[in-house]
Structure 1
Amino acid sequence: MASAQDVQSLLRFLSQDAKVPLAQALGKVKDLQAAKLVTASDLAKSDFGSLKKIFNDDKVARQVLNAAKRVSKKRTSSDTSAPVPSPKKAKPVYGQPLNGTEMEASLALPDSIMDEETLSATVLYTNRAPLVLAFAVTLIKYTMPEQPISSRLSLAQAVTSMNSKAKAIHVGLDSGQAAEDEGWGEGQPLIRIMTRDIRVMKRWGYEWEGEADSPQNILKLSQGTLVEEKVEGPALWGIDLEALKKANQPGAHGLNKGSLNQLPIYTAQSARAYLMKAFETPKAEGVKVEDEVPAKAKAKRAANNAAEKEHNLGLLLGALELLYQSWAHVLSKEDLDKRAWGWYVRVRPDVAHGAAGWGGKGNVNLSDILKLRRPAG
């Protein structure tokens, strides 16, 4: 049976490479799985008649077959370590809003790469904020497994933004108090993530289809023993308290501190886009970008850079998955959350102290993340 990652990859191929409307692609996943056609390579080796039978449309079947052959040929004739970039934001289908299942599929992050040899040799170049975001979005998968990816991204962005705001005040780049310290959002539910108390809004009535192999469907009782667990509870949004405060400044048409109407939230799409572009590969000393990349079309160079960053994100997520997996069956969710901030601090990039280091970038060795895992035995 295909994994959730296989399904996500198949949906990306159908909607992006083959240009099949997402709603139609979602309806054909089971048929493709039954025919054992779950990758571009599988589809490239199939015949037109088989695809026509599944899609019931000559044009769409031809689109899928041609796209599969094109993608497979490209992957075998060039370095395929970096996947094709995913879309930066969810798009409506035929002018209609995405439903829950479609929205969650559109927000999928790159597949986690968990090959330890590869991870141990990988160094990324980034600044601190997106690293906090990556730590938090992966952590929430284990501490709040009932939350869909849209909520995990929103909540993780809340942690990241609040931390950045506090840091800016501490180093003197921002004056005054943070919105949460002034009581904005008072009355809204509070949850704690990586030492931060986050004001949230419950998304009552939101329905989505959970990932088959997500921790929300699995409870690890002891090593090697798995049972299904039904987790109840509404999806959440992280409330953007700074935006709420700004909307209530003199002259602004805003909201009151605890209003439930039109509360500003941290959007999943912006958090995902931030992650997708944040993790670079360190440049060799003395090598300039123009020396490293031949004079080619600007669009092609940008696409290559985007693909590389997406691949790097997959590597980082893989290292974080291995870290949290090693502790998840021995620590409570609360203790796992408490430790996450300390783990981040130990591997974050070195930057100058104070205001001089604001936004500064540095190297992150994924081997350092792997060293934080629980010792075997």
Structure 2
Amino acid sequence: MSTAQVPALLRFLTQDAKVPLAVAIGKTPELQKANLTSADQIAKADIQVLQDIFKDHKVAKQILNAGKRVSKKRGAPTDSTATSPQKKKKNASITKESAPFEIESSLSLPTSSSPDSELQEMVIVTNRAPLVLAFAICVLKYTMPEQPISSRLSLAQALVSANSRSKAVSLGIENGQSAEQEGWGEGQPVVRVLGREIRVLKRWDYNPREGQPANWSPSENSDSNTVSVDDFLGRADIDDPDKMPPLWGIDLEAARSSQGTTGPEKKTGVLPIFTAESARSYLLRSVSNAQVTTAPSKSKPNTANGLEKEKSVACLLSVIDSVSRSWATNLKKGELDRRAWAWYLKVRPDVQSGVQGWGQKGQVKLSDILALRNEP
């Protein structure tokens, strides 16, 4: 089973078949051995095979019915009411009470196993903010390897928000001091993400590995596209006091908006954070393949459009990760962080300057990003 199939299979089991994520993860290897790696294959499976894997007739029937239901929907491409992957996520079984391992697993981003020869030919369409988000998520994996995916998403979104406000001020869209300049978040620790200081909250009581199934371990496959458990849980020892704990990026502008600006006591209350879920959702809906974006959006079901965007995001993250990984062994973390911003500036979409270009989409050649691996 390719690495790109693993997230899709887990989404089907947890969201469509309503199987607990821990169970779904534990049964993935057995489903792979039985060549049941998609809803279509499961829909055609013998219920006895599923029962042998899940050891429960009711669960096996539940999964089989879900496979048939999803397969039937895919067979009706004119159904405009098909549910997109983003909408399905609202029905997922992940809640605030879920184990940290389940939460982190649900936030894992799509991966691509496409070779460089295919990625070199691909052109995506996006605007600048999602591209910054993608660069930050990938680079944080190497500059702050102890951070789980929830923290990387939150920190990356904090960077995007800060950059967006700075840009709005420079264009005259907003004025006045930022919440940071007014002292909101004062006293909170600071980390640097792509050259910008971000105020953070430390999550001392959060262990991303809590609830991890005993039979789930990092992949031993040397393929660089293979997803290991550390890719979304981070590489920290949670009991090491010298390691940075998981972090949240603080949303200082939201803090100021919700509590007002009068009185210094207002700056010490509970601070809102940038949620990982919103950052992930924003990225997945903001990147498209240039070869398919010329068609009207209503010409395809929402599910097909969502899958195309997900594949585009996977390819984008793959090439940025490739660049980051190639330089991580030669650069110190601070230098890698600084250089990543320069990389973004080299490949960002070419849009109109000034207010006319605000939020405008443009094309990005993945070959230009891959070329960064060989820059002097």
Q: What TM-score do you get using the length of structure 1 for normalisation?
A: 0.80
Between the aligned partners of 1:145 and 1:341, the Cα distance in structure 2 is: 18
1:267 counterpart = 2:275: yes
- Aligned residues of 2:129 and 2:160 also touching (Cα < 8 A): yes
Between the aligned partners of 2:322 and 2:374, the Cα distance in structure 1 is: 10
SS in 2 for 1:237: strand
1:249 counterpart = 2:255: no
Q: How does 1:31-180 map to 2 (within 5 A)?
A: 31-34=27-30, 36-37=33-34, 39-40=37-38, 47-68=46-67, 85=85, 89=89, 93=93, 97-180=97-180
Aligned partner (choices 18, 21, 32) of residue 20 of structure 1: 18
Aligned partner (choices 289, 302, 319) of residue 296 of structure 2: 289
Pair 1:284–1:203, CA change in 2 (3 A):
closer
How far has the Cα of 1:242 moved from its partner?
0.8
1:340 counterpart = 2:346: no
One-letter amino acid of the counterpart of residue 249, structure 1: G
How far has the Cα of 1:145 moved from its partner?
1.2
2:80 corresponds to which residue? none
Which structure 1 residue ranges, 5 or more long, are not aligned? 79-83, 219-227, 295-299
Q: Which moved more, 1:178-187 or 1:234-243?
A: 178-187
What value does the CA root-mean-square deviation take over the aligned residues?
3.5
Pair 1:268–1:255, CA change in 2 (3 A):
farther
1:233 counterpart = 2:240: no
Pair 1:112–1:256, CA change in 2 (3 A):
farther
Between the aligned partners of 1:330 and 1:90, the Cα distance in structure 2 is: 42
One-letter amino acid of the counterpart of residue 340, structure 1: A
Between the aligned partners of 1:246 and 1:196, the Cα distance in structure 2 is: 22
- Aligned residues of 2:86 and 2:306 also touching (Cα < 8 A): no
Pair 1:34–1:281, CA change in 2 (3 A):
closer
Alpha-carbon deviations, 1:76-124, whole Å to 9, x = none? 999xxxxx83666565749773221121122121123442112111111
- Aligned residues of 1:3 and 1:212 also touching (Cα < 8 A): no
1:203 corresponds to which residue? 203
Q: How many residues align?
A: 347
SS in 1 for 2:201: strand
How far has the Cα of 1:61 moved from its partner?
0.7
One-letter amino acid of the counterpart of residue 18, structure 2: V
Between the aligned partners of 2:122 and 2:65, the Cα distance in structure 1 is: 35
Between the aligned partners of 2:133 and 2:168, the Cα distance in structure 1 is: 17
Which structure 2 residue ranges, 5 or more long, are not aligned? 78-83, 220-226
Name the % identity.
Answer: 46
How far has the Cα of 1:330 moved from its partner?
1.1
1:278 counterpart = 2:289: no
Pair 1:97–1:174, CA change in 2 (3 A):
same
SS in 2 for 1:201: strand
Between the aligned partners of 1:288 and 1:54, the Cα distance in structure 2 is: 42
One-letter amino acid of the counterpart of residue 151, structure 1: S
Pair 1:28–1:360, CA change in 2 (3 A):
closer
One-letter amino acid of the counterpart of residue 61, structure 1: A
SS in 2 for 1:20: coil
